[in-house]
Structure 1
Amino acid sequence: MLNLTYSYRIYPDAIQEAQMLEWMEQCRRVYNYALAERKDWMNSRRCQLNACSLRSEYIIPADTPYPNYYAQKRNLTAARKVIPELDSVHSQVLQEALARLDKSFRFMQQREFGFPRFKSVGQFRSLLFPQFKTNPVTGWQVKLPKIGAVGLNLHRPIPDGFVVKQVRVVKKASGWYAMLVLESDISIPDPMPIGNSIGIDLGLEKFLAVSTGKLVARPKFFVQLQSKLKWLQRQLKDKVKGSNNYRKAQSKIRRLHERIHNTRREFHFQVAHQLCSNVGMIFAEELNLKATSRGMLAKHCLDAGWGGFLDILGWVCKKRDVYFARVNPNGTSQTCPKCGTHTGKKELSQRVHHCVECGYTTDRDVAAAIVVEQRGLTAVGHTVVLPVEVNRLAVPVKQESLRGNSWKPTL
Structure 2
Amino acid sequence: MLTMNYTYRIYPNAVQQAELLEWMETCRGVYNYALRELKDWIASRKCSVDRCSLEKEYIIPADEPFPSYHRQQNNLPKAKKQFPHLGKVHSQVLQTTIRRLHDTWEAFVKRGHGFPRFKKFGQFKSFVFPQFKNNPINGFTINLPKIGEVPIDLHRPIPNGFKVKQVRVLSRIRGTQWYVVVTIESDISVPDVPVHGRAIGIDLGLERFLTASDRSFQERPKFFKSMQRQLKLLQRRAARKQKGSQNWEKAQVEVARMHHRIANRRRDFHLKTAHQLCDQAQTIFAEDLNVKGLTRGMLRKDCVDAAFGQFLSLTEWVCWKRGVYFAKVNPNGTSQTCPSCFATASKGLEVREHHCPECGYRTHRDHAAAEMVLDRGLENVVTQGLWGTETACQVGLSGVDDLDKWRGAGIPNREVGKPAL
Cα distance, 1:47 vs structure 2:
4.6
Give the percent of matched residue pairs that are identical in Structure 1 and Structure 2: 55
Of 180-189 and 303-312, the range deviating more from structure 2: 180-189
| CA offset digits 1:124-183 (Å, max 9, x no partner) | 121211100001111221111111111122222221111111111111125111221111
Which one has a bigger Cα radius of gyration? 2
Cα distance, 1:271 vs structure 2:
0.5
- Aligned pairs for 1:12-411 within 5 A: 12-53=12-53, 56-173=56-173, 175-344=177-346, 346-381=347-382, 382-383=400-401, 384=403, 386=418
Q: Distance in 1 between matches of 2:198 and 2:47?
A: 60
Cα distance, 1:36 vs structure 2:
2.1
The gaps in structure 2 that reach 5 residues or longer are 383-399, 404-416
Identify if the C-alpha distance between structure 1 residues 122 and 283 changes in structure 2 by more than 3 Å, giving closer, same or farther.
Answer: same
Cα distance, 1:111 vs structure 2:
4.3
Tell me the TM-score normalised to structure 1 length: 0.90
Would you say the 8 A contact 1:336–1:355 is kept in 2? Answer: yes
Q: Distance in 2 between matches of 1:123 and 1:101?
A: 14
Cα distance, 1:116 vs structure 2:
2.5
Q: Distance in 2 between matches of 1:54 and 1:307?
A: 48
Would you say the 8 A contact 1:197–1:280 is kept in 2? Answer: yes
Identify if the C-alpha distance between structure 1 residues 48 and 366 changes in structure 2 by more than 3 Å, giving closer, same or farther.
Answer: farther
Cα distance, 1:76 vs structure 2:
2.3
SS in 2 for 1:118: coil
Aligned AA for 1:254? A
Cα distance, 1:308 vs structure 2:
0.7
| CA offset digits 1:304-355 (Å, max 9, x no partner) | 11111111000000011011111111111111111111223x2210111111
Identify if the C-alpha distance between structure 1 residues 370 and 240 changes in structure 2 by more than 3 Å, giving closer, same or farther.
Answer: same
Would you say the 8 A contact 1:337–1:387 is kept in 2? Answer: no
Identify if the C-alpha distance between structure 1 residues 52 and 225 changes in structure 2 by more than 3 Å, giving closer, same or farther.
Answer: farther
Q: Distance in 1 between matches of 2:197 and 2:53?
A: 64
How many residues were matched structurally? 388
Q: Distance in 2 between matches of 1:162 and 1:87?
A: 32
Tell me the TM-score normalised to structure 2 length: 0.87
SS in 2 for 1:150: strand
The gaps in structure 1 that reach 5 residues or longer are 390-411
Aligned AA for 1:245? N
| CA offset digits 1:197-243 (Å, max 9, x no partner) | 11111111211111111221111111221222222111111111111
SS in 2 for 1:120: coil
Identify if the C-alpha distance between structure 1 residues 11 and 274 changes in structure 2 by more than 3 Å, giving closer, same or farther.
Answer: same
Cα distance, 1:77 vs structure 2:
3.2
Aligned AA for 2:251? A
Identify if the C-alpha distance between structure 1 residues 290 and 56 changes in structure 2 by more than 3 Å, giving closer, same or farther.
Answer: farther
Of 26-35 and 374-383, the range deviating more from structure 2: 374-383
Aligned AA for 2:104? S
Cα distance, 1:17 vs structure 2:
1.5
**RMSD (Å) for aligned C-alpha atoms:** 1.9
Q: Distance in 2 between matches of 1:142 and 1:217?
A: 41
Identify if the C-alpha distance between structure 1 residues 61 and 289 changes in structure 2 by more than 3 Å, giving closer, same or farther.
Answer: farther
Aligned AA for 1:29? G
Aligned AA for 1:199? G
Cα distance, 1:273 vs structure 2:
0.3
